[in-house]
Structure 1
Amino acid sequence: MPQITVDHSHTISFDQDGFSRALHEAVVEIAAAKPESCKTQFRPSEYTAFGYEGLDELGHTVIHVTLGLLAGRTEETKAKLTEKVLELLREYIDEDGSVLHASAEVRELDASYRKFER
């Protein structure tokens, strides 16, 4: 915990290392997570459809960040965290002329969540 996934159009150019480091620092500060518990996976999508555009049109790009946290954070904490994520996306994503659609959400991990480390 936290389990963070970043789903995005493959055409988005950004500093993933810098973004993940800043994001992990924010999660530690805002949601009281442990630094060594922060894990982020980047999942670029080969194709992103938007509205009525064809898949070969590159007028729009999409990025969505999901943060899975253990239960117990207040709604205020969750909102503060998602606002920080959007701020970091503005900072770390390069502008390429496309319309960027960025979003973030915090979800609570199910009570069945378990993990192990080797």
Structure 2
Amino acid sequence: MPQITVDYSATLATVFDRAGFAKALHTAVVDIAAAKPEACKTLFRPAELTAFGYEDPEEGRHAIVHVTLGLLAGRTEETKAELTEAVLEALRAHVADDGLVTLHASAEVRDLDPSYRKFEG
């Protein structure tokens, strides 16, 4: 915990500082949600094709980033909202604006199911 997944348009590969974003994201999760630094894990998943409205996805004028944070239950709604705002701020700082693509960024914090288990080995 936390389990963090970042889905993003592969077209952002050259303008998305994923390592810098992960560091900022982990810092926010520790500071806001009281997670332990060594517990923060982030998986980046590039999507080869993303679509926006009725526009032709091949034109590549839009890109998407969606961040999902799974935390153990117990955080207040205020804490979750503060964390999602911090995630969006970190995205603004770590996705360069190339002037060619409209970025659609979103984030959500969800409670992990009580069945959540993990192991390290």
TM-score range, shorter chain: over 0.9
Q: Tell me the equivalent position of 2:101.
A: 98
Deviations 1:73-104 (CA, angstroms, capped at 9, x unpaired):
00000000000000000000011221110000
> Which AA in structure 1 matches 2:90?
L
Query: Gapped runs of 5+ residues in structure 1?
Result: none
Alpha-carbon distance between aligned partners in 1 of 2:47 and 2:113, rounded to the nearest angstrom: 26
Alpha-carbon distance between aligned partners in 2 of 1:9 and 1:17, rounded to the nearest angstrom: 16
Deviation at 1:55, TM superposition (A): 2.3
Q: Tell me the equivalent position of 1:108.
A: 111
Q: Tell me the equivalent position of 2:68.
A: 66
Q: Tell me the equivalent position of 1:75.
A: 77
Deviation at 1:14, TM superposition (A): 1.2
Q: How many residues align?
A: 118
Alpha-carbon distance between aligned partners in 1 of 2:57 and 2:85, rounded to the nearest angstrom: 30
Q: Tell me the equivalent position of 2:51.
A: 49
Q: Higher helix share goes to which structure? A: 2
Q: Tell me the equivalent position of 1:9.
A: 9
> Which AA in structure 2 matches 1:56?
E
> Which AA in structure 2 matches 1:79?
A
